[in-house]
Amino acid sequence: MSRPGALVTGSARGIGRGIAVGLAREGYDIAVHYRTSRAAAEATCAELEALGSRAIALEADLTDLDAGTGLVDEARERLGSLSVLVNNVGNYVYTPLAELTLEEWRDVLATNLDATFATCQAVLPIMRAAGGGRIVNIGYAGSQALVGRPDIAPYAIAKTGVVLLTKAIARAEAGNGITANVVAPGVIETSRTKPTSEIPAGRVGRIEEVVGAVLYFFSPDAEYVTGQVLEVAGGWNM
Protein backbone atom coordinates (compact mmCIF):
# COMPACT_ATOMS: atom_id res chain seq x y z
CA MET A 1 0.00 0.00 0.00
CA SER A 2 1.34 3.45 -0.92
CA ARG A 3 1.94 5.95 1.84
CA PRO A 4 0.76 9.58 1.72
CA GLY A 5 3.36 12.16 0.73
CA ALA A 6 4.49 15.15 2.77
CA LEU A 7 6.77 18.08 1.97
CA VAL A 8 8.50 19.85 4.87
CA THR A 9 10.50 22.92 3.91
CA GLY A 10 13.70 23.63 5.80
CA SER A 11 13.77 20.09 7.16
CA ALA A 12 17.46 19.16 7.08
CA ARG A 13 17.84 20.04 10.75
CA GLY A 14 16.15 21.65 13.75
CA ILE A 15 12.38 21.94 14.02
CA GLY A 16 11.86 20.96 10.38
CA ARG A 17 13.83 17.76 10.86
CA GLY A 18 11.79 16.99 13.98
CA ILE A 19 8.55 17.46 12.04
CA ALA A 20 9.80 15.18 9.25
CA VAL A 21 10.67 12.47 11.79
CA GLY A 22 7.24 12.82 13.41
CA LEU A 23 5.48 12.48 10.05
CA ALA A 24 7.58 9.44 9.15
CA ARG A 25 6.47 7.78 12.37
CA GLU A 26 2.88 8.54 11.40
CA GLY A 27 3.27 6.70 8.07
CA TYR A 28 4.17 9.44 5.60
CA ASP A 29 6.75 9.44 2.84
CA ILE A 30 8.75 12.65 3.12
CA ALA A 31 10.34 15.21 0.82
CA VAL A 32 13.15 16.80 2.84
CA HIS A 33 13.88 20.30 1.58
CA TYR A 34 17.17 22.13 2.02
CA ARG A 35 18.95 25.10 0.47
CA THR A 36 22.64 24.55 1.31
CA SER A 37 22.72 21.76 3.93
CA ARG A 38 22.88 18.78 1.60
CA ALA A 39 24.80 16.52 3.99
CA ALA A 40 22.35 17.23 6.81
CA ALA A 41 19.39 16.61 4.50
CA GLU A 42 20.81 13.27 3.41
CA ALA A 43 21.40 12.32 7.05
CA THR A 44 17.79 13.19 7.82
CA CYS A 45 16.62 11.07 4.89
CA ALA A 46 18.62 8.12 6.22
CA GLU A 47 16.93 8.54 9.59
CA LEU A 48 13.49 8.64 7.98
CA GLU A 49 14.21 5.55 5.91
CA ALA A 50 15.22 3.72 9.07
CA LEU A 51 11.69 4.46 10.32
CA GLY A 52 10.20 2.83 7.21
CA SER A 53 9.55 6.03 5.27
CA ARG A 54 10.52 6.71 1.70
CA ALA A 55 12.54 9.93 1.87
CA ILE A 56 13.98 12.20 -0.81
CA ALA A 57 16.21 15.26 -0.43
CA LEU A 58 15.24 18.24 -2.61
CA GLU A 59 17.32 21.42 -2.99
CA ALA A 60 15.66 24.78 -3.62
CA ASP A 61 16.32 28.44 -2.87
CA LEU A 62 12.85 29.57 -1.85
CA THR A 63 13.67 33.24 -2.22
CA ASP A 64 12.97 32.41 -5.89
CA LEU A 65 9.19 31.99 -6.15
CA ASP A 66 9.51 29.78 -9.22
CA ALA A 67 11.75 27.49 -7.18
CA GLY A 68 8.93 27.13 -4.65
CA THR A 69 6.56 25.99 -7.34
CA GLY A 70 9.17 23.63 -8.74
CA LEU A 71 9.84 22.17 -5.31
CA VAL A 72 6.17 21.29 -4.81
CA ASP A 73 5.86 19.78 -8.29
CA GLU A 74 9.01 17.67 -7.87
CA ALA A 75 7.93 16.45 -4.43
CA ARG A 76 4.58 15.30 -5.77
CA GLU A 77 6.09 13.68 -8.86
CA ARG A 78 8.74 11.75 -6.95
CA LEU A 79 6.59 10.77 -3.97
CA GLY A 80 3.54 9.97 -6.09
CA SER A 81 1.23 12.09 -3.93
CA LEU A 82 1.33 15.18 -1.75
CA SER A 83 -1.34 15.45 0.92
CA VAL A 84 0.65 17.40 3.51
CA LEU A 85 2.68 20.62 3.31
CA VAL A 86 4.61 22.13 6.21
CA ASN A 87 6.21 25.53 5.63
CA ASN A 88 9.02 25.72 8.14
CA VAL A 89 11.73 27.59 6.24
CA GLY A 90 12.41 31.23 7.10
CA ASN A 91 15.39 33.38 7.97
CA TYR A 92 15.61 35.51 11.12
CA VAL A 93 17.62 38.60 11.95
CA TYR A 94 17.97 40.32 15.32
CA THR A 95 18.99 43.84 14.31
CA PRO A 96 17.85 47.27 15.55
CA LEU A 97 15.48 48.79 13.02
CA ALA A 98 17.78 51.77 12.39
CA GLU A 99 20.60 49.40 11.40
CA LEU A 100 18.52 47.02 9.27
CA THR A 101 19.56 46.83 5.64
CA LEU A 102 17.19 46.58 2.71
CA GLU A 103 18.83 43.27 1.78
CA GLU A 104 18.08 41.84 5.24
CA TRP A 105 14.51 43.13 5.05
CA ARG A 106 13.90 41.53 1.67
CA ASP A 107 15.52 38.21 2.64
CA VAL A 108 13.41 37.80 5.79
CA LEU A 109 10.18 38.68 3.99
CA ALA A 110 11.08 36.43 1.05
CA THR A 111 12.00 33.35 3.05
CA ASN A 112 9.18 33.59 5.58
CA LEU A 113 6.19 35.04 3.72
CA ASP A 114 6.82 34.91 -0.03
CA ALA A 115 8.08 31.32 0.10
CA THR A 116 5.01 30.26 2.09
CA PHE A 117 2.73 31.87 -0.48
CA ALA A 118 4.54 30.21 -3.39
CA THR A 119 4.44 26.68 -1.99
CA CYS A 120 0.82 27.00 -0.83
CA GLN A 121 -0.26 28.39 -4.19
CA ALA A 122 1.46 25.49 -5.94
CA VAL A 123 0.12 22.73 -3.68
CA LEU A 124 -3.54 23.80 -3.60
CA PRO A 125 -4.47 22.50 -7.09
CA ILE A 126 -2.83 19.18 -6.20
CA MET A 127 -4.83 18.92 -2.99
CA ARG A 128 -8.08 19.97 -4.66
CA ALA A 129 -7.64 17.26 -7.30
CA ALA A 130 -7.01 14.69 -4.56
CA GLY A 131 -10.11 15.71 -2.62
CA GLY A 132 -8.32 17.37 0.27
CA GLY A 133 -5.09 17.99 2.12
CA ARG A 134 -3.50 19.59 5.17
CA ILE A 135 -1.25 22.64 5.37
CA VAL A 136 0.61 23.80 8.47
CA ASN A 137 2.64 26.99 8.36
CA ILE A 138 5.15 27.72 11.11
CA GLY A 139 4.57 31.11 12.68
CA TYR A 140 5.85 33.04 15.68
CA ALA A 141 4.24 33.29 19.11
CA GLY A 142 2.64 36.67 19.64
CA SER A 143 2.51 37.61 15.97
CA GLN A 144 -1.24 38.19 16.19
CA ALA A 145 -0.81 40.80 18.92
CA LEU A 146 0.40 43.47 16.45
CA VAL A 147 3.06 44.70 18.86
CA GLY A 148 5.95 46.73 17.48
CA ARG A 149 9.20 44.75 17.79
CA PRO A 150 11.96 47.01 16.44
CA ASP A 151 14.76 44.46 16.83
CA ILE A 152 12.99 41.80 14.75
CA ALA A 153 10.66 43.98 12.67
CA PRO A 154 10.79 42.12 9.33
CA TYR A 155 10.44 38.72 11.02
CA ALA A 156 7.44 39.80 13.11
CA ILE A 157 5.81 41.42 10.07
CA ALA A 158 6.40 38.35 7.92
CA LYS A 159 4.96 35.97 10.52
CA THR A 160 1.88 38.16 10.98
CA GLY A 161 1.49 37.92 7.22
CA VAL A 162 1.78 34.13 7.42
CA VAL A 163 -1.13 34.07 9.89
CA LEU A 164 -3.33 36.21 7.63
CA LEU A 165 -2.37 34.21 4.54
CA THR A 166 -3.17 30.95 6.33
CA LYS A 167 -6.57 32.21 7.42
CA ALA A 168 -7.34 33.34 3.87
CA ILE A 169 -6.43 29.89 2.53
CA ALA A 170 -8.52 28.24 5.23
CA ARG A 171 -11.63 30.21 4.28
CA ALA A 172 -11.13 29.79 0.56
CA GLU A 173 -10.43 26.05 0.64
CA ALA A 174 -12.63 24.69 3.45
CA GLY A 175 -15.20 23.46 0.94
CA ASN A 176 -12.48 21.53 -0.89
CA GLY A 177 -11.49 19.42 2.11
CA ILE A 178 -8.28 21.40 2.67
CA THR A 179 -7.32 22.71 6.10
CA ALA A 180 -4.68 25.37 6.78
CA ASN A 181 -3.38 26.17 10.25
CA VAL A 182 -0.43 27.79 12.00
CA VAL A 183 1.81 26.42 14.72
CA ALA A 184 3.54 29.37 16.40
CA PRO A 185 6.59 28.47 18.51
CA GLY A 186 8.00 30.79 21.10
CA VAL A 187 11.52 30.40 22.44
CA ILE A 188 12.64 26.88 21.53
CA GLU A 189 15.85 25.01 22.34
CA THR A 190 17.17 25.86 18.87
CA SER A 191 16.30 29.58 19.08
CA ARG A 192 19.13 32.03 18.52
CA THR A 193 18.19 34.07 21.59
CA LYS A 194 16.78 32.53 24.78
CA PRO A 195 15.24 35.13 27.12
CA THR A 196 14.19 32.53 29.68
CA SER A 197 13.39 35.15 32.31
CA GLU A 198 10.60 36.47 30.06
CA ILE A 199 8.88 33.08 29.72
CA PRO A 200 6.12 32.45 32.31
CA ALA A 201 6.78 28.69 32.14
CA GLY A 202 10.39 29.37 33.15
CA ARG A 203 12.03 27.33 30.40
CA VAL A 204 12.51 27.12 26.66
CA GLY A 205 10.38 24.78 24.60
CA ARG A 206 11.49 21.46 23.19
CA ILE A 207 11.39 20.57 19.52
CA GLU A 208 9.15 17.59 20.24
CA GLU A 209 6.57 19.93 21.77
CA VAL A 210 6.38 21.87 18.50
CA VAL A 211 6.21 18.60 16.56
CA GLY A 212 3.29 17.40 18.69
CA ALA A 213 1.33 20.56 17.87
CA VAL A 214 2.02 20.15 14.14
CA LEU A 215 0.97 16.50 14.16
CA TYR A 216 -2.32 17.39 15.85
CA PHE A 217 -3.38 19.30 12.74
CA PHE A 218 -2.77 16.18 10.65
CA SER A 219 -4.78 13.91 12.94
CA PRO A 220 -8.37 12.76 12.29
CA ASP A 221 -9.47 14.86 15.27
CA ALA A 222 -8.44 18.04 13.41
CA GLU A 223 -10.42 17.42 10.22
CA TYR A 224 -12.86 20.20 11.20
CA VAL A 225 -10.18 22.58 12.51
CA THR A 226 -8.92 25.22 10.10
CA GLY A 227 -7.61 28.78 10.16
CA GLN A 228 -6.30 28.41 13.70
CA VAL A 229 -3.08 29.46 15.42
CA LEU A 230 -1.66 27.13 18.07
CA GLU A 231 1.09 28.75 20.12
CA VAL A 232 3.76 26.57 21.70
CA ALA A 233 5.38 29.17 23.89
CA GLY A 234 4.92 28.56 27.62
CA GLY A 235 2.93 31.79 27.94
CA TRP A 236 5.60 33.95 26.28
CA ASN A 237 4.50 37.00 24.25
CA MET A 238 0.88 36.75 25.41
Question: Which residues are tagged catalytic?
Answer: 155
Q: Decide if 203 contacts 234 (C-beta within 8 A).
A: yes
Distance CA 155, CA 143 (A): 9
In this structure, the strands spanning 55-59 and 29-34 are parallel
Phi, psi (rounded to 5 degrees) for 233? -145, 0
Distance CA 6, CA 149 (A): 34
Exposed/middle/buried for residue 95 (C-beta within 10 Å: 0-12, 13-18, 19+): middle
Handedness of CA 50, 56, 57, 60 (dihedral sign): negative
Distance CA 32, CA 55 (A): 7
Distance CA 197, CA 22 (A): 30
Distance CA 77, CA 67 (A): 15
Handedness of CA 213, 218, 220, 221 (dihedral sign): positive
Distance CA 16, CA 139 (A): 13
